[in-house]
Amino acid sequence: MHKWPLEDKPLLVFYETTKACPLACRHCRANALLKPLPTDLGTREVMKFIEDLTGFGRPYPVLILTGGDPLMRNDIFEIMDHAKSLGIPIALSPAVSTKLLNEDLLRELRNRVNSVSISLDGARPETHNYIRRTALEQIDVFKTTLEAFEMLRKLGVEFQINTTVMKLNVHEIPHIFKIVRESGANAWEVFFLIRVGRGMELEPLDPWETEDVVQFLYDASLYGLPIRTVEAPFFRRVIMQRSASVKYEGGRLYQELTGQLRELMGESSSNAKPPSFTPTRDGYGIIFVASDGSIYPSGFLPLTLGNVRRDNIVKVYREHPVLRTIREARFNGKCGVCEYRNICGGSRARAYTEVGDHLASDPACVYEPTAK
Ligand code: SF4
């Protein structure tokens, strides 16, 4: 695979098209609303921002249209068509709602987007519906989500499933993995909770539980489905360790999750290859543009770097001092001396929200660097 020049251009540009959303998920970074805000970028401003992205040069980063719910914007097709006409790949991250995300709409989307991501936070309706509350319509979000997977599969639209792991759903993770694997999804992206926005209502895993889950994800990845983590870059440290035959005995949670995994899926193939990865982190390979145009290193790291209304995103990505320190892996504490800092570097968002310093060590990582 061509090595992506992460110093010069992100792989992924997240654009929060609007905060408006029919769901009011308990862990959303946004405070969801039923109407777009007057501060949202207007159509012409969005078009200009999209044109600025071509300054990164080909191949262009993937533009991930997220929210809120991007389908709440009246001009979303216009935005997608403009990006597509410029050759920018598009991924769409809609909320599940029968009013907005239905088969007719997916047919419309099919030729516009490269992929779609849908969230699944529970293997049982009770869990998923508790986490992903609806505000617009009374629907069984869990059932509608499974129907959305089926529609996407039938229409041949590439999709990935996103899961946010927390105390509330951690025991369901092997069952969620089974649903994901059987759904026809191309990848499973597992988010580790950062306590911002509504995420404050929910309890994240403690560090050893986090380690147990990340180690479990390594075992799950041996069943052939690509698995990525968000805000747990130390999954890559685990991949390196386990590929080098460093055994993990694990705590009770790890034993429980891997026991369930074997029960549900049988043994993984002994020839299974460890997952590959790209060493991105908040602000390095990733950049986030909020609905009002503010630029952040990621959606979970509220350090403003500029605004697409007045700043060129290419210049901000390449030159902003905050991003330079992040990409040069100049961290404090154990992340700063860790032998895995270049491929991992810890969650800068968690360091910032928990410690108040975006260069501090990631408090969720239990690893003790040998070079300390
Ligand atoms: S100490 Fe920091 S850099 Fe090292 S594995 Fe943990 S989070 Fe990653």
User: Which residue has the least CA distance to atom 6 on ligand 1?
Assistant: 365
pLDDT at 136 over 70: no
Low-confidence winner among 24-28, 42-46, 230-234 (lowest mean pLDDT): 24-28
C-alpha 367 – ligand 1 centre gap (Å): 6
Per residue in 306-325, pLDDT tens?
999 999 999 999 999 999 99
231-247 pLDDT, tens digit each: 999 999 999 999 998 88
**Tens-place pLDDT, residues 58-109:** 999 999 999 888 999 999 999 999 999 999 999 999 988 656 678 888 888 8
Q: What is the pTM of this model?
A: 0.93
Third-level CATH fold of 12-265: TIM Barrel (3.20.20)
pLDDT over 90, % of the chain: 75
**Using CA atoms, how far apart are residues 353 and 347, in angstroms rounded to an integer?**
10
- Indicate the average pLDDT of the chain: 91
Give the ligand 1 atom nearest the CA of 365. Answer: 6
Question: If pLDDT is split at 50, 70 and 90, which confidence band does 129 have?
Answer: confident
Nearest CA residue ID for atom 2, ligand 1? 335
Q: What ranges do the domains of the chain cover?
A: 12-265
pLDDT score at 21 = 77
Concatenated DSSP letters of 137-163: S---HHHHHHHHHHHHHHHT--EEEEE
pLDDT band with cut points at 50, 70 and 90 for residue 1: very low
Asked if residue 29 has pLDDT above 70, the reply is no
Using CA positions, which residue lies closest to atom 5 of ligand 1? 234
Q: 255-278 b/e with 16+ CB inside 10 Å = b?
A: ebbbebbeeebeeeeeeeeebebe
Among 335, 342, 347, 348, say which to mutate for ligand 1: greatest number of ligand atoms within 8 Å of CB. 335
Q: How confident is the model at residue 27 (pLDDT cuts 50, 70, 90)?
A: low
What digits encode the pLDDT tens for the residues 140-199?
889 989 999 999 999 999 999 999 999 999 999 999 999 999 999 999 999 999 877 655
Query: Which amino acids bring their CB within 6 angstroms of ligand 1?
Result: 234, 237, 334-335, 338, 340-341, 344-346, 361-362, 365, 367, 369
Q: How far is the CA of 144 from the centre of ligand 1 (A)?
A: 38
Q: How confident is the model at residue 30 (pLDDT cuts 50, 70, 90)?
A: low
What is the residue-wise DSSP string for 10-57? -SEEEEE--SB-SB--TT-SS--BSS--TTSPPHHHHHHHHHHHGGG-
Strands 286-289 and 227-230, how do they pair? Answer: unpaired
Going by the DSSP 8-state scheme, the letter that residue 294 receives in this structure is E
**Mean pLDDT for the stretch of residues 217-233:** 96
